Chains A and B, each alone.
Chain A
Amino acid sequence: MEFLLTLSGATLRISTPILLAALGETLIERAGILNLGIEGTMLLAAFSGFVTAQLTGSLWLGLAAAVLTGVLLSLLMGLLSITLGLNQHVSGLGITLLAGGLALFAFRLLYGGASTPPSLDHSFQRWSLFEDTPLEPLFGQYGLTYLALLLVPLLGGLLLNTSFGLRLRAVGENPEAADIAGVSVYRVRYQALALGGALMGLAGAYLSLAQLGAFSHGIVSGRGWVAIAIVIFGNWRPSRVLFGALLFGFLQALQLRLQAEGVALPYELLLALPYLVTILVLAVVGRSASYPAALLKPYRREGET
């Protein structure tokens, strides 16, 4: 029983950054934009959050800096993909390369070739909801984990039940019709990007300010790509994205646990599973209707240059 609770607790901790980033990507993709900048955005946000927290001594300012980084990089993505109407894949990848380069450049500049990664004196601590009870291993989580879980129904509701959600889905499904109905396609797409970018920023901040309390080159190591996979696996719905993120977190937690127990297992294959499952899901459903119909298509009014 304790084993299960500990495993579940670890699952939640590992799932959190993936969940935050995947929720952000879900919003953006539902508005019709594939943001491959996610991986680099998380890295630069993790870095800017870390540096700000270290310089100011305030974790909250660090968190704010990470969110701001996410929003700014998303707006850059907007400039490229919405305003200029450039190819989304290449723009997004360019942002990942740029943000990654910037983070590592600044990291090297500020911390030199330090052999041990610099860490924070104080990082976010876990909140124990059920202190000194058997449930503690499961409910001793970071605040951002609770926030991420709370965001799942909130964003689900936002998408389905609010006029903003309706507009967001409209510009992702049929921007021409949305435009005729008086929705500003550009503005809604920018809003979705900014909101999604903020969540990616939180995902980065979670890594450097909470889970690790430190920064290193490999701090994101493909979590952004996992998030991309999970959005598809989750069928662009927050509740199923949560399921995907938890499944990923569970596999990872299990693998860590088995490794710690000395079980000989090619754990890399377990790590590759989420990617393979996503590709399999794509193969099974094909380009089904649940893809936001206008994904990857820059919007231009008829006759507009």
Chain B
Amino acid sequence: MLNLRLERAPAPWWLRASIPLLAVVVTFALVSVLILAAGANPIEVFFEMLVKPLSKRTARLEVLVQATPLVLAGVAVAFAFVSGYYNIGAEGQLYAGALAAAFIGPQLAGVPAPVSIVLMIVLGFLAGALWALPPALLKVRLKVDEVVTTLLLNSVMLFLISALLNGPWRDPISGWPRSPTIAASAQFPQLIARSRVHLGLVLAILAVVGLWWIVRRTRFGLELRAAGLGRQAARFMGVPVERTVLSAALVSGGIAGLAGVSEVAGIHGYLIEGISPGYGYTGIIVATFGGLHALGVGLAGLFLALVDTGALSTSRALGVPAYLGDVVQATLLLVTLAALLLARYRLRWGGG
């Protein structure tokens, strides 16, 4: 008789390493159904979406532009998730950073560019961390679940931004709900000629390296991971769990804030309501798909940016709505979550 058993044990490394690939294949198989329903050829769509952008210089660089906020948001989320703190508030923290940048940016005229830029970055980080503070304090002091509080603060931040843009910041001449333009010295420099790639990409790379270094190479990172694996056990090991989780939450909010600064100072030059089409939520996909590992998060951010960029060009070339990109990303999240289960099991032949 066939004797196949499922056992709870870490899966072999090759299986764990192939999970992202498996998730991508399953995702595209599922999404094919939708593409067929839309009357298009899935192969053609995937080629247009995932391969075509890589063959053109402008599109390749545009992927990097798109990846900048996604990687920052992904690192922000990963930082919190590693410690077992489910920060769903990256979207609001991103806007907090953007708010700080839009507030300080116009006042920096005449200040040397390096000083202006450092100020923008520091204040954006602090603003993101500040917006992350109340839920984090509620969590460590009163054991209030952070998921709902961080999620609700996203909406509060959006209302606050809306109130500012429709109130004191409304453009007096055009009447547009947009903040005053930031000073030239506060704008992130362009990194590559004839492209929109800006300093934010360097921040994103630094964030990835920082995530790797802190989580893998420092005592604080060890404590983060211990707290994430189990609060009680970590406490017995002498890990200051509350302080660790609080720090993780604040750093997470700060990095999300950087994503907001980077969009204001690197792309728009001012703040508008739609500055993030949900990067904070996509960051959760980036972090999960990247397995909460630094390198994985970086690659996941690039891949999702490719999906976003490709979805736009696909809609122009083949008439398939660009929302296909959102569907691909969300499906990828759910499939990855399910596929990660595989990493916990081993298939065994034979009895015993």
Chain A residues engaging chain B, CB cutoff 8 angstroms: 34, 36, 80, 84, 86-87, 89-91, 93-95, 97-98, 100-102, 104-105, 108-109, 222, 225-226, 228-229, 232, 266, 268-269, 271-272, 275-276, 278-279, 282-283, 286-287, 291, 296, 305
Give Cα distance in the complex from A275 to B150, angstroms: 11
Give Cα distance in the complex from A229 to B34, angstroms: 33
Chain B hits for A100, CB < 8 A: 326, 330
B152 at the interface (CB under 8 A from A): yes
Contact of A282 with B148 in the complex, beta carbons under 8 Å? yes
Contact of B338 with A80 in the complex, beta carbons under 8 Å? yes
Residue of A nearest to B152 (CB): A275
Contact of A94 with B327 in the complex, beta carbons under 8 Å? no
B104 at the interface (CB under 8 A from A): no
**Chain B: how many interface residues by the 8 Å CB criterion?**
50
Chain B residues engaging chain A, CB cutoff 8 angstroms: 6-8, 34, 38, 86, 88, 134-135, 138, 142-145, 147-149, 151-156, 159-160, 162-163, 166-167, 278, 281, 284-285, 288, 320-324, 326-327, 329-331, 333-334, 337-338, 341, 345
Of B8, B159, B285, the residue contacting A272 (CB under 8 A) is: B159
Contact of A269 with B163 in the complex, beta carbons under 8 Å? yes
Contact of B327 with A105 in the complex, beta carbons under 8 Å? yes
Min C-beta distance of B301 to chain A, whole Å: 16
Min C-beta distance of B265 to chain A, whole Å: 25
Contact of B159 with A101 in the complex, beta carbons under 8 Å? no
Q: A105-B34, A268-B162, A283-B138 are in contact. Are A225 and B337 (CB under 8 A)?
A: no
Min C-beta distance of B96 to chain A, whole Å: 14
Contact of B8 with A102 in the complex, beta carbons under 8 Å? no
Chain A hits for B7, CB < 8 A: 305
Residue of A nearest to B81 (CB): A90
Of A98, A232, A272, the residue contacting B156 (CB under 8 A) is: A272
Of A89, A97, A279, the residue contacting B326 (CB under 8 A) is: A97
Residue of B nearest to A34 (CB): B147
Contact of B155 with A275 in the complex, beta carbons under 8 Å? yes
Give Cα distance in the complex from A190 to B159, angstroms: 35
Residue of A nearest to B340 (CB): A86
Could you show 9 A-B contacts with beta carbons less than 8 Å apart? A34-B147, A87-B337, A89-B147, A90-B337, A97-B278, A105-B327, A275-B153, A282-B149, A287-B143
Residue of B nearest to A92 (CB): B147
Min C-beta distance of A111 to chain B, whole Å: 10
Give Cα distance in the complex from A228 to B148, angstroms: 8
Give Cα distance in the complex from A222 to B333, angstroms: 21
Min C-beta distance of A66 to chain B, whole Å: 20
Contacts across chains A and B counted by CB atoms under 8 Å: 134
Q: A80-B338, A98-B331, A266-B167 are in contact. Are A105 and B147 (CB under 8 A)?
A: no
Give Cα distance in the complex from A72 to B66, angstroms: 33
Give Cα distance in the complex from A156 to B152, angstroms: 26
Q: Which of B34, B166, B321 has the most CB of A within 10 A?
A: B321
Contact of B152 with A229 in the complex, beta carbons under 8 Å? yes
Contact of B329 with A109 in the complex, beta carbons under 8 Å? no
New contact pairs (9) apart from A97-B329, A109-B321, A282-B142, CB-CB < 8 Å: A34-B148, A36-B151, A80-B334, A89-B147, A94-B285, A101-B327, A105-B327, A275-B156, A282-B144
Chain A hits for B345, CB < 8 A: 305
Contact of B159 with A271 in the complex, beta carbons under 8 Å? yes
Contact of B160 with A104 in the complex, beta carbons under 8 Å? no
Residue of B nearest to A39 (CB): B151
Chain A hits for B143, CB < 8 A: 286-287
Contact of B323 with A104 in the complex, beta carbons under 8 Å? yes
Give Cα distance in the complex from A291 to B166, angstroms: 38
Chain A hits for B166, CB < 8 A: 268
Give Cα distance in the complex from A102 to B159, angstroms: 26
Contact of B8 with A305 in the complex, beta carbons under 8 Å? yes
Min C-beta distance of A86 to chain B, whole Å: 5
Contact of A90 with B333 in the complex, beta carbons under 8 Å? yes
Min C-beta distance of B168 to chain A, whole Å: 10
Give Cα distance in the complex from A105 to B135, angstroms: 34
Residue of A nearest to B8 (CB): A305
Q: Which of A225, A272, A278 has the most CB of B within 10 A?
A: A272
Chain B hits for A86, CB < 8 A: 337-338, 341
Q: A94-B330, A101-B326 are in contact. Are A268 and B8 (CB under 8 A)?
A: no
Chain A hits for B160, CB < 8 A: 268, 272
Contact of A222 with B331 in the complex, beta carbons under 8 Å? no
Q: A228-B151, A272-B155 are in contact. Are A91 and B334 (CB under 8 A)?
A: yes
Q: A105-B324, A286-B144 are in contact. Are A279 and B167 (CB under 8 A)?
A: no
Q: A34-B147, A283-B138 are in contact. Are A94 and B337 (CB under 8 A)?
A: yes
